[in-house]
Structure formats: structure tokens, C-alpha cells
Amino acid sequence: MSPTRRHLICAALAAQLLAPAGFVIAQGAATRDAMTHFFDANTGDLKAELADARAAGKKAILLMYEQEGCPACLYMKQHVLNRVDVQELYRRHFVSFTIDINGAVPLKDFGGRDISEKTFAAAAKARATPTFAFHDLSGTEIVRITGAVRDVGEFKLLAEFVASGAYKTRQFAEYKQLQSAKKGG
């Protein structure tokens, strides 16, 4: 049997084995639904989520501001947030939720006040989507990235940037340059 044929058979078997678990193999990387596996179930109470995140030893809360029909949001969900390696990295360090910038869904903000998603997003000045806003465990926004990231590697680097605390001394663009220089790129 040729190595190419053997490779194809192995790939097909792997796909059959992983499919029942919700995994899909895309371009050599395992993927699964972002809404189910990247984002946490939102209770609608961000103040309580802060307490839970602290108790679980998380580094921050990540809010992805989105809106219906947003092509960049869809891109992120289908090409970055669906990756198992990304999901595991983010779940290890963060609790993540979506906020619809036009949504009427009620929630309690980090201060415990009743508010709609739309009003919360407006108060946070989240106008473009997607916007990724990391909040420390007191509810203070510490890092904000507006727009889709370039690729999986950059999104994983963003997690490292926040989880390591590097955001306290530099901007993400500078951190990316330093990491690229370390790798010789």
C-alpha cells in the first residue's frame, strides 16, 4: 500500500472516530462547535460570573461583542474559535461569553445592575464587531481587540499575552513583535 493511500485511510478512520464526539478534522486540526465548546453558558449575571471565575482560578473574563450577520464574527467562530486547541487554551485561563451589541437579553453587569446586552455594549463603547474585551476579576477591562484576528496563532498569542500578565507593561502589538523576534521571524 502506498504511503499516500495509507495516509488517506488513516485520515478517514480518524474522522469516523472523532465525528461522534463532535470533532471535525479541518486542515489537520480538530474542530468542534464554538458556541458549545469555546463559550461558557451565560447565566446573565456577570457579577456572579466574576465570583465563579475567581473561585475557579481563572485569569480573566473574555467578552466577545458580536451582532447578527457579522462576517468577521462568523469567520472567528468557523476558523478560530472552533479549534479544539484554542478552546482548551482559553477554557484553561478564561471564562468566555458573547454579548450581542443589539440584543435585548437582560443581564446583570459587573456591578450587579440590571441592564440589556445592547445597553451594556453601548456603555462599553463596543461598536464594531467582533470586539474581544478581557476583564480582570474585579470587572475592569484590561485588554480590548477590535476586529477578527489574523489567524489561530495570533489568537493563541493573545491568550498568552493576557494570561501571563504581559498586558500590564506593553501593548499587544509590541508583545507580538517581541514574540516574533524571539522565534526569529
- Cβ pair 156, 145 in contact under 8 A: no
Question: Quick one: average pLDDT of 85-104?
Answer: 97
Convert the pLDDT of each residue in 122-156 to its tens digit. Answer: 999 999 999 999 999 999 999 999 999 989 999 99
Dihedral class, residue 176 (left if φ above 0, else alpha if ψ from -120 to 50, else beta): alpha
Least confident of 18-22, 73-77, 91-95, 124-128: 18-22
Contact of 20 with 13, CB cutoff 8 Å: no
Amino acid 69: pLDDT: 95
The residue ranking higher by pLDDT, 12 or 88, is: 88
| Structural domains present in the chain | 1-31 (no CATH), 34-182 (3.40.30.10)
Place 10 in a pLDDT band, splitting at 50, 70 and 90.
very low
| Percent of the chain topping pLDDT 70 | 84
Q: What is the pLDDT of residue 182?
A: 86
| CA angle, residues 153, 130, 141, in degrees to nearest 5 | 85
- Asked whether the predicted pLDDT for residue 21 surpasses 80, the reply is no
Q: What is the pLDDT of residue 14?
A: 37
Give pLDDT, residue 184: 76
User: Is the pLDDT at 8 greater than 50, yes or no?
Assistant: no
Mean pLDDT of 62-74: 97
Instruction: Find the mean pLDDT for residues 14-21.
Output: 39
Residues near 140 by Cβ (< 8 Å), separated by ≥ 6?
Answer: none
Q: How confident is the model at residue 185 (pLDDT cuts 50, 70, 90)?
A: low
pLDDT band per the 50, 70, 90 thresholds, residue 87: very high
Over residues 41-51, the mean pLDDT reads 94
Helix (H) or strand (E) holding 61: strand 60-66
Please give the mean pLDDT across all residues of the chain.
87
Beta bridge partners of 116: 106
